[in-house]
Amino acid sequence: MKVFFDKLAKLEINDAVGFYDIEIKGLGKRFKSEVKAGIRRIREYPYAWPKEKDDLRRHLLHKFPYKIIYSIEKDYIYVIAVAHCHRRPDYWIDRMLA
């Protein structure tokens, strides 16, 4: 199943990569690899993760405090947010209305 990212979700990934690379060289690359692994798991088993809100699901990253918020559409998966689990909870909800 194909995966499409909201443009703001892509920005969230890039921002986190930049932040982690400032903290420790190479950590941003590890974060990005963890996101890619999460996307692979979601593609293989889209219904395996719990619902976050309405029909949106969340996949928690293993090594970073982030979650991938996504919806399962008819022919694809739509990633709405790659959200930090401890900052501004549910800030991404307005994206559902867009």
Q: What element of type H or E holds 10?
A: helix 7-23
* Domains: count for the chain: 1
Q: Which residue has the higher pLDDT, 6 or 87?
A: 6
Per-residue pLDDT tens over the stretch 26-77: 999 999 999 999 999 999 999 999 999 889 999 999 999 999 999 999 999 9
Which ranges of 24-98 would DSSP assign to H, the alpha helix? 27-44
Domain limits for position 40:
2-97
Contacts of 76 (CB under 8 A, 6+ apart): 1, 2, 3, 4
- CATH at residue 84: 3.30.2310.20
